[in-house]
Amino acid sequence: MTIRPIVRYPDHRLALPARPVTAFDDSLRHLANDLLETMRAAPGIGITAPHIGVPLRVVVLELDAKDGARTYVNPEITWASPEMILHREGSVSMPGVNDEVQRHARVRISYQDVEGDRRTEESDGLRAVCHQHEIDQLDGVFWIQRLSRLKRERLVKRFEKMSRNS
C-alpha cells in the first residue's frame, strides 16, 4: 500500500467525469488499498480515485473503525429521498475549508465490489451525504459547486490565502 499525492483544487482533473472500471483485477485492489492509505493519511473519511489523479469510478469510505472501510466501484445513485439535510462538507483536495451543503437525507446506490459483484446499499445521515459527495466527484462535480456563488467565492479565497501562507 502506498500513500499517493492528492490532486489539489483547482486542478482541472477534479472537474472531469471518471471512467467506469472494467477490469476487476489486482491493479484495482491495489488502487483501493492505496486510496485507503492515502485517505487515512490526509486525514479524511472518503476519497475517490480522481482525488489521486486516477480517472476511474472508485470510492473508498471509512466513517468509523467499527464498520471499517468500504470500497464502491462504479457507484450510482438509484433513488434519493425527497427529504433534505444540511451537512458540513470538505475535501481532501481542499483541506482546511468546509461549509454546509444540502443533500438528500437518504439514498440507495448500486455499485460493484472489487471482485465485480453487483451490490446495492441504502444509507442515511453521514453515509448518505458521503455517497452523494463522492459520486458527485466521480461525475466531475466538486463539492463547492453545490454552494451559492457568494459562499463558493469566499471559500476559494480563504483556501487560496491558506495555501499561500503554508
DSSP code at position 66: T
Residue corresponding to grid cell 453515509: 127
Handedness of CA 150, 151, 155, 156 (dihedral sign): negative
Residue corresponding to grid cell 483547482: 10
Instruction: Please confirm, yes or no, whether 134 is among the known catalytic residues.
Output: yes
| Whole-number Å distance between alpha carbons of 86 and 128 | 12
Handedness of CA 128, 131, 136, 139 (dihedral sign): negative
| Whole-number Å distance between alpha carbons of 4 and 1 | 9
The one catalytic residue in 76, 115, 121, 134 is: 134
Residues tagged active-site: 134
